A = this chain, B = another copy of it.
């Protein structure tokens, strides 16, 4: 089983969806920690179905194309549970920005500052985004959000991770910008 497969199972465990809907989920809500294109999702769904982890039924629609609604099977839920409860290896975080910062000494000071300011802006947007997500979750689920056995809490927990991360990255950006400013020749 691939990780994408588990990502799909994780979304389908919350309710039946079409491949198209799954693709949208993997662009934004879940997309902040795992992305995928539809061209990857459709074949993967076929593989999951062959393995008996999901099933689908065709829903006829008027005024728009028919769609296949996929649902997770008992076997699928069990496979997902198994995967979630096993620790797994430490992931390698690939960060292009850090690669650039590693070579920042090569470029002009003002270019470096421009680069980091753009990044600062990006993290600010991320932060705002996660705050919006959390506000929406709070409005929709209320007290249920504090129950760790609910899907809503789990969505909140992942967004909380993103929020804290964005904050720490923002701190780092500003620290770096300060360093870049100190030795400046006016």
**Chain A interfacial positions (CB closer than 8 Å to B):** 3, 6-7, 9-10, 13, 30-35, 77, 80-81, 83-85, 87-88, 90-109, 111-112, 115, 118-119, 122, 146-151, 153-155, 157-158, 160-162, 164-165, 167-169, 171-172, 175-176, 179-180, 182-183
Q: A151 contacts B105, CB within 8 Å?
A: yes
Q: How far is the CA of A88 from the CA of B101 in the complex (A)?
A: 13
Shortest Cβ distance from residue A6 to the other chain B in the assembled complex, whole angstroms? 6
Q: How far is the CA of A87 from the CA of B113 in the complex (A)?
A: 11
Collect the chain B residues with CB atoms within 8 Å of residue A33's CB: 93-95, 98-99, 102
Q: B115 contacts A103, CB within 8 Å?
A: no
- Given A97-B91, A172-B160, are A150 and B105 neighbors across the interface (CB < 8 Å)? yes
10 additional A-B pairs beyond A101-B158, A102-B154, beta carbons within 8 Å, are A13-B103, A30-B99, A31-B92, A32-B93, A87-B119, A91-B94, A91-B97, A109-B148, A148-B180, A165-B169
21 example contacts (A-B, Cβ-Cβ < 8 A) are as follows A3-B99, A7-B99, A13-B103, A32-B93, A34-B94, A34-B98, A35-B92, A84-B100, A85-B111, A87-B115, A87-B119, A91-B97, A98-B161, A102-B154, A105-B153, A109-B148, A147-B183, A148-B179, A153-B179, A160-B172, A160-B175
Q: How far is the CA of A161 from the CA of B161 in the complex (A)?
A: 16
Collect the chain B residues with CB atoms within 8 Å of residue A162's CB: 98
Shortest Cβ distance from residue A16 to the other chain B in the assembled complex, whole angstroms? 16
Q: B164 contacts A168, CB within 8 Å?
A: yes
Q: How far is the CA of A112 from the CA of B81 in the complex (A)?
A: 11
Q: How far is the CA of A8 from the CA of B50 in the complex (A)?
A: 42
- Return the contact of A161 from the options B101, B107, B164 (Cβ within 8 A): B101
